[in-house]
Structure 1
Amino acid sequence: MKSEIIHPPPGSPGGEASADTVVAELFLAHRLALVRLAFLLVGDQESAEDVVQDAFAAVYRRWGRLTDRRQVLPYLRTAVVNGCRMVLRRRVIIGRFRGHREVPFWSAEAAALLGETRRQVFLAVRALPRRQREVLVLRFYLDLSEAEIAQVMGVSRGTVKSTASRALKVLAVKLKEER
């Protein structure tokens, strides 16, 4: 799922596609992958869908101000990761006032999305600190390079590399313990 150049449809005025056309095409092509990305970060389908919908709505609203429209997909990924962070922060704040309540993320729909054989790994990744979880999901789920992950997260490539290394060590220990 590497970045793609957005080509205008044939015969479009000025040689450039409209926001309606491009955002609709992006939505059809990348919505499911972005929902899965968000699901892996927030842990429930409803919040994941809301985050992705908000990201697409933001692209649509800002279409006229986008300077490099070839960067729309990386922008969407960044918006989804940031939206997930906001959801998780909101949960922490609400948890302080209501008492911590775990989101029921292991529904039948979630099980179908991930497959039962991935459940242990999913739970181990969910237990990682936020930054480690984000790096691993972006690296191994979206197959992004260190540079692309650094761009999405707003950190250096070195931070991505060291964070991934630490996260993989923690996962290896955790998954060995569970065997």
Structure 2
Amino acid sequence: MSDRWETYAEAADRLNMTTDAVRHRARRLGWRRTRSNDGKTLVMVPDDVEPIELSEDPVIITRSDDGSSPERSHDDLAIDLLHDRIRDLQADLSRERNERLAEREATGRMADRLIEAEKAKSDAEKAAALAQAEVAHLQERLTAEMTAHRSEIDHRDDRLAEIASDLKQMRSRSLWQRLVG
């Protein structure tokens, strides 16, 4: 026999328990649960779970600390079952509290990370704005320097043209005219 998926009602019938008892046992023991296509909750009942044997006799025989076997009444059994149920509920409550605390801590950590991410985004946007302003300033400086260099090159080209014209004019004169001046 292997683990199998059953509704709480099916498991309750097979194990001779109430559906609430199966539900609580599944939660307490950590049995896997899922939803079926029709919306019912299915629980995977391990194969080692044995059905509860129901007795016709309302008296249960147990051993006391001194080794004797006193009989217990149906009311004592009910009280013990209620005590067990209270312990189960307290354990469930404690587990739920711990889960909520863990969820709150996780939410707090996520909120802190979100705040850090928003701050980092804001810092990055400021840095990008400063970088864009610096780029614009450098472009203006580069344009001004290029204009100044272009002007200097044009001036040197004009001066070179003058020198070339003077040289041409000097070459057109004879040697003795060049020497005399």
Q: Which has the higher contact order (CA 8 A, sep 6+)?
A: 1
Bucket of the pairwise TM-score, normalised by the shorter protein: under 0.3
TM, length-normalised to structure 2: 0.23
